[in-house]
């Protein structure tokens, strides 16, 4: 049923929530309302504040309302807000059907049980904070009021301040997506902390998190995950999702605070080598132990104690500053243990590092009595400071992980694309027949057929209805052979001893088959058999596809057969390309050894395994009705891979397919078209186009570059190339034109959707030799079609006033053009799509 919306004259503007000019506290006589009204007063907020008992007393049009009213009054109050054209609200308490009220009224809401919002630099504290949050560059998005207070309480004495604190509460309406979009564009936000309890829209969350993490460090913690996740699968899925978004995940509150300490204050780490300087041997060695446990590196052995420098307290600062100026040092950790009267002078000298240090400087000031005073002095100087060596090393580890994330973003992927040409229609008909026949689980040979349709090599397999048929089947396949029970049960649920291997002739096959059939009959099985050629001496790995309750389908990889170990499974989210598949393999202990000789076995073919992962990823993208796909035995050697076992289950009638957390490549938008007498492929851009895109930029004239980027540029940096080629298809589209004769990129059109989902900004550029031949027109029309399909109301763009050919072209497409009031050298073009 569609909920009718009120006929209001305004609409929600995120600025009214994050930068309100006026606020109404409704329910100011309640505990929550009174606290928020008092915090607004104490913070020195300059806008108008109405503190009233109920919404009926509202006057004028506040930009933001706090609804501290009983649950049954929240809906009626939102109706009154909408009628007053106030479309942003905070609900600090409980509320009934809050999402439905937001949909009905158009009022966007933080809550229920929201901590509120604080923007200290604007003197805005519409929150339930127990002390005033200090201003700074750290943003906190939290679903827990208690954790928000704890972080604020920690920040104040440690000299850490906040650009924003946003309490999502139950996340019924406004969630992580919109908040991250706002903070990612905020120049005063340096790093973002996420406290996650519930993700309402996993795809929007990852899309917004990825966009924010491209610009600044983002760190996330999720409490309570292990309580509901005994086998750790959800934990792995959560980490995989955040990794794909470029977000650092931590498991403990102290790690979150350590990350806040370093990422908001320290310089970026250039490498994972940490120099340790200590005024005491024991604490220095504790720090070194922690470095090695984290898989980091100590300074080269020029230091006498395994890379640790032990110096007098008076020399700590000078030694640390010298090391931090070296090009081969990733960071410097100063470990100070209290010594006595000279401590204050030592700490004072550390508080004034030179401005030209290359490496981040981290300080561990130990102790609680004098140590607390020392940490306060150092924090006041803006240095990252910790109470124990372990905490300091954890802080450096977060810098290293952030560096690796950003380095990965700068690396241009290989141009190699695995083309998967599956027998899609055959698989579709096979699934339809299975559902019509009433069985959702596929036995081994049926599942292997599905994999083979997507190009996954399988061991030759033959069905045998009886032991008598098994011998001739093995004769056809060759020896040695394997015989197993044909079973629709999941691999973990199959009967023990349901296969016999290393059989060398037909009599052995028949004898083994009789034993298996007798065992099956005793347990109510069918006694049907499968005969396979022995897989040889390849290494055995496993692949498993299953749903995560939050992020949907996941792909796990690890050891198979006797090497199977749940703790060795690495997890990622589809869709995968070859680069992501290789990364997944390397994160597993089994996968990391594939490229190495093992005893008398040569290195295995990791590329073949990566291709299997990409093919399985495409199968999951094409058929979301697959609930589980298990390949417990995939043999890999130097020559390639062979699947020996598989199991597949389709979703039942009552099981809803879970949407992929990451938008797949929109291959349905590819077209082949004759343009200007040449055959062109016009398709969405993909990461593997990075090298071709860099070459395309190199063929553009300086004037074309100035017209497109509004500045003179000689080349695209790796970061710019990644940003232009690795697009999020949920919020951006770029169509490229590829000359089929040469494979060159010769044109591109781009549309970035605004955070409100109503409009988008376009750009288009083609090579000089293809101007006036209809290519730019086709690229723009594809972009306009895509914008309409996404429900955009308008697309717009800025064009330099002297770019007369572009202005004439865009008018021909139906755009209206006017000169911008604040910049007469720039014209703004708009096209209504609605």
Mean pLDDT of the chain: 91
804-828: average pLDDT? 95
Domains and CATH numbers, the chain: 14-262 (3.40.50.261), 267-410 (3.40.50.261), 667-832 (3.40.630.30)
DSSP string, 204-236: HHHHHHHHHHTTS-EEEEETTTGGG-TTSHHHH
pLDDT digits 0-9 by tens, 343-380: 999 999 999 999 889 999 999 999 999 999 999 999 98
> Measured between alpha carbons, how far is residue 432 from residues 223, 371, 475, 615, 792 in Å?
41, 70, 34, 21, 36
CA distance linking residue 442 with residue 165, whole number of Å: 50
Segment 61-70 mean pLDDT? 98
**What percent of the chain is modeled with pLDDT above 70?**
96
Q: What is the pLDDT of residue 412?
A: 61
Residue with the two structure tokens 């803006």: 382
* Region 470-477 average pLDDT: 94
Question: 495-499, 630-634, 678-682, 783-787: which has the minimum mean pLDDT?
Answer: 495-499
pLDDT (mean) for 742-747: 97
Of 261, 263, 234, the closest CA to residue 248 belongs to 263
Residues with Cβ within 8 Å of 522's Cβ and at least 6 positions away in sequence, in order, are: none
pLDDT 10s digits, 496-512? 778 898 999 999 999 99
Q: What integer pLDDT is reported at residue 231 of this predicted model? A: 60
Asked if pLDDT for residue 2 goes beyond 50, the answer is: no
Q: Which of 170, 70, 108 has its CA nearest to residue 756? A: 108
* Spatial contact of 343 and 314, defined as CB atoms under 8 Å apart: no
Read off φ and ψ for residue 504, nearest 5 degrees.
-110, -5
Backbone phi, psi, residue 146, to 5°: -65, -45
DSSP 691: H
* Helices of type H across 27-171: 31-43, 71-83, 98-105, 145-155
Phi-psi region of 542 (alpha: psi -120 to 50; beta: other; left: phi over 0): beta
The pLDDT of residue 522: 81
- d(Cα 192, Cα 154) in Å, to the nearest integer? 16
- In order of 513, 670, 723, 779, the CA distances from 689 in angstroms are 53, 15, 12, 17
Each residue's pLDDT tens digit, 89-128: 999 999 989 999 999 999 999 999 999 999 999 999 999 9
Give the span between the Cα atoms of 645 and 636, in whole angstroms.
13
User: How many angstroms separate the CA atoms of 363 and 700, rounded?
Assistant: 49
Strand partners of residue 108: 88
pLDDT of residue 229: 55
pLDDT at 328: 87
Assess whether pLDDT exceeds 90 at residue 133: yes
Model's pTM, two decimal places? 0.89
| CB 424, CB 622: distance < 8 Å | yes
- Bridge partners (DSSP) of residue 52 are 26
Q: How many CB atoms lie within 10 A of CB 77?
A: 26
> 709: which residues sit within 8 A by CB, 6+ positions away?
none
Quick check: 763 and 797 in contact, CB under 8 A? Answer: yes
Supply the pLDDT for residue 3: 33
pLDDT band at 234 (very low <50, low <70, confident <90, very high): confident
> How high is the pLDDT of residue 598?
76
pLDDT in tens, 756-809: 788 999 999 999 999 999 999 999 999 999 999 999 999 999 999 999 999 999
> Tens digits of per-residue pLDDT, 297-349?
998 765 566 678 999 999 999 999 999 999 889 999 999 999 988 899 999 99
Q: What is the pLDDT of residue 225?
A: 58
In this prediction, residue 233 carries a pLDDT of: 79
Averaged pLDDT, 648-667: 91
The CA-atom distances, in angstroms, between 532 and each of 466, 497, 500, 591 are 15, 16, 11, 26
In this prediction, residue 9 has a pLDDT band, given cuts at 50, 70 and 90, of very low
pLDDT in tens, 684-726: 999 999 999 999 999 999 999 999 999 888 889 888 898 899 9
pLDDT for position 595: 85
Contact 531, 477 (CB under 8 A): yes
Burial of 369 (0-12, 13-18, 19+ CB in 10 A): exposed
pLDDT for the residue 413: 66
């Amino acid at each position: 049923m569609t909920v009718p919306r009120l006929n209001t004259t305004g609409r929600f503007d995120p600025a009214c929530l994050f930068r309100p000019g006026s606020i109404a506290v409704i329910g100011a006589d309640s505990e929550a309302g009174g606290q928020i009204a008092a915090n607004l007063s104490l913070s020195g907020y300059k806008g108008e504040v109405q503190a009233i008992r109920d919404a009926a007393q509202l006057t004028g049009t506040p930009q933001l309302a706090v609804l501290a009213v009983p649950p049954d009054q929240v809906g009626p109050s939102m109706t009154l807000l909408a009628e007053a054209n106030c479309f942003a609200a905070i609900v600090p308490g409980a509320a009934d059907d809050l999402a439905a009220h937001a949909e009905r009224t158009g009022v966007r809401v933080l809550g229920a049980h929201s901590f509120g919002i604080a923007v200290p630099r604007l003197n805005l504290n519409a929150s339930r904070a127990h002390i005033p949050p200090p201003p700074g560059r750290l943003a906190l998005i939290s679903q827990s009021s208690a954790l928000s207070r704890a972080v604020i309480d920690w920040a104040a004495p440690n000299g850490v301040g906040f650009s924003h604190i946003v309490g999502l509460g139950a996340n019924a309406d406004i969630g992580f997506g919109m908040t991250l979009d706002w903070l990612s564009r905020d120049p005063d936000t340096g790093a973002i902390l996420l406290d996650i309890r519930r993700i309402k829209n996993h795809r929007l969350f990852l899309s917004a998190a990825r966009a924010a993490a491209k610009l600044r460090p983002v760190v996330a913690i999720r409490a309570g995950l292990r309580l509901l996740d005994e086998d750790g699968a959800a934990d792995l899925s959560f980490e995989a999702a955040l990794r794909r978004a470029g977000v650092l995940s931590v498991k403990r509150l102290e790690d979150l605070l350590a990350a806040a300490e370093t990422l908001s204050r320290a310089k970026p780490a250039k490498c994972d080598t940490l120099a340790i300087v200590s005024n005491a041997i024991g604490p220095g060695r504790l720090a070194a132990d922690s470095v090695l446990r984290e898989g980091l590196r100590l300074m080269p052995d020029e230091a006498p104690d395994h890379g640790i420098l032990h110096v007098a307290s008076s020399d700590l600062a000078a030694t640390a500053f010298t090391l931090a100026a070296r090009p081969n040092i990733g960071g410097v950790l100063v470990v100070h243990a209290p010594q006595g009267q000279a401590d204050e002078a030592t700490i004072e000298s550390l508080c004034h590092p030179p401005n030209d240090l290359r490496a981040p400087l981290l300080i561990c000031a130990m102790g609680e009595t004098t140590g607390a005073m020392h940490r306060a002095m150092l924090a006041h100087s803006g240095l990252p400071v910790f109470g124990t060596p372990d905490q300091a090393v954890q802080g450096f580890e977060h810098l290293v992980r952030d560096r690796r994330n950003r380095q990965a973003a700068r690396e241009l992927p290989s141009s190699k694309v695995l083309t998967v040409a599956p027998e899609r229609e055959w698989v579709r008909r096979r699934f339809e027949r299975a559902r019509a026949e009433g069985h959702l689980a596929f036995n081994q040979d049926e599942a292997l057929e599905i994999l083979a349709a997507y190009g996954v090599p399988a061991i030759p397999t033959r069905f045998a209805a009886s032991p008598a048929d098994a011998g001739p089947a093995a004769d056809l396949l060759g020896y040695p052979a394997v015989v197993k029970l044909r079973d629709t049960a999941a691999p973990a649920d199959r009967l023990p001893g349901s296969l016999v291997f290393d059989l060398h002739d037909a009599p052995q096959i028949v004898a083994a088959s009789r034993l298996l059939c007798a065992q099956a009959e005793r347990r109510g099985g069918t006694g049907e058999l499968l005969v396979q050629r022995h897989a040889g001496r390849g290494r055995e790995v496993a692949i498993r596809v299953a749903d995560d309750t939050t992020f949907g389908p996941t792909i796990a990889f690890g050891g198979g057969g006797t090497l199977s170990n749940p703790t060795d499974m690495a997890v990622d989210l589809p869709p995968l390309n070859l680069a992501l598949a290789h990364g997944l393999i390397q994160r597993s202990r089994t996968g990391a050894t594939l490229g190495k000789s093992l005893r008398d076995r040569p290195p295995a073919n990791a590329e073949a395994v990566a291709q299997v992962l990409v093919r399985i990823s495409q199968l999951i993208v094409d058929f979301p009705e697959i609930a589980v796909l298990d390949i417990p035995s995939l043999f890999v050697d130097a020559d390639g891979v062979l699947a020996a076992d598989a199991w597949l289950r389709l979703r039942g009638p009552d099981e809803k397919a879970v949407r992929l957390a990451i938008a797949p490549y929109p291959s349905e938008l590819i077209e082949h078209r004759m343009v200007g007498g040449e055959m062109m492929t016009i398709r969405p851009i993909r990461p593997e186009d990075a090298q071709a895109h860099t070459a395309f930029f190199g063929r553009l004239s300086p004037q074309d570059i100035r017209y497109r980027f509004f500045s003179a540029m000689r080349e695209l940096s790796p970061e710019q190339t990644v940003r232009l080629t690795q697009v999020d298809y949920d919020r951006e589209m770029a169509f490229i034109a590829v000359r089929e004769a040469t494979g060159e990129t010769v044109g591109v059109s781009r549309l970035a959707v605004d955070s409100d989902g109503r409009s988008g900004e376009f750009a288009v550029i083609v090579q000089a030799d293809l101007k006036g031949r209809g290519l730019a027109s086709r690229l723009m029309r594809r972009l306009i079609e895509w914008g309409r399909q996404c429900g955009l109301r308008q697309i717009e763009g800025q064009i330099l006033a002297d770019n007369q050919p572009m202005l004439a072209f865009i008018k021909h497409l139906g755009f209206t053009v006017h000169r911008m009031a604040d910049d007469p050298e720039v014209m703004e073009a708009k096209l209504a799509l609605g």
